[in-house]
Structure 1
Amino acid sequence: MFDDMDELATDYDDRVRNAREDAGLSQSDLANELNEKASLIRKIERGETLPSDEVQTELEDFLEISLSAQGSSGEDTEWSGGSSTGSYTLGDVVKRKD
Structure 2
Amino acid sequence: MFDEMDEVATDYDQRIREARESAGLSQEDLAGELNEKASLIRKLERGDMLPSDSVQKKLERKLEISLSERGDTEDTEWEGGSSTGSYTLGDVVTRKDS
Output the aligned Cα RMSD: 2.6
Residue 82, structure 1, aligned to residue 68, structure 2: no
Matched ranges for 1:29-48 at <5 A: 29-48=29-48
Letter in 2 for 1:83: E
Q: Partner letter of residue 7 of structure 2?
A: E
| 1:59 counterpart letter in structure 2 | L
**How big is each residue's C-alpha offset from its partner over 1:25-74, in whole Å with a ceiling of 9 and x where there is no partner?**
000000000000000000000000110000000000110000001243x2
| Number of positions where the alignment pairs a residue of Structure 1 with one of Structure 2 | 84
- List runs of 5+ in structure 2 lacking aligned partners: 81-88
**Structure of greater Rg:** 2
Q: What are the ranges of 5 or more consecutive residues in structure 1 without an aligned counterpart?
A: 85-90
Between the aligned partners of 1:16 and 1:71, the Cα distance in structure 2 is: 18
Misfit runs of 4+, over 4 Å? none
SS in 2 for 1:69: coil
Cα displacement (A) at 1:83: 1.2
> What is the aligned-residue identity percentage?
65
TM-score, normalising length from structure 1? 0.75
Q: TM-score, normalised by structure 2?
A: 0.75
Shift in alpha-carbon separation, 1:66–1:37, aligned structure 2, 3 A: same
Residue in 2 that maps onto 1:24: 24
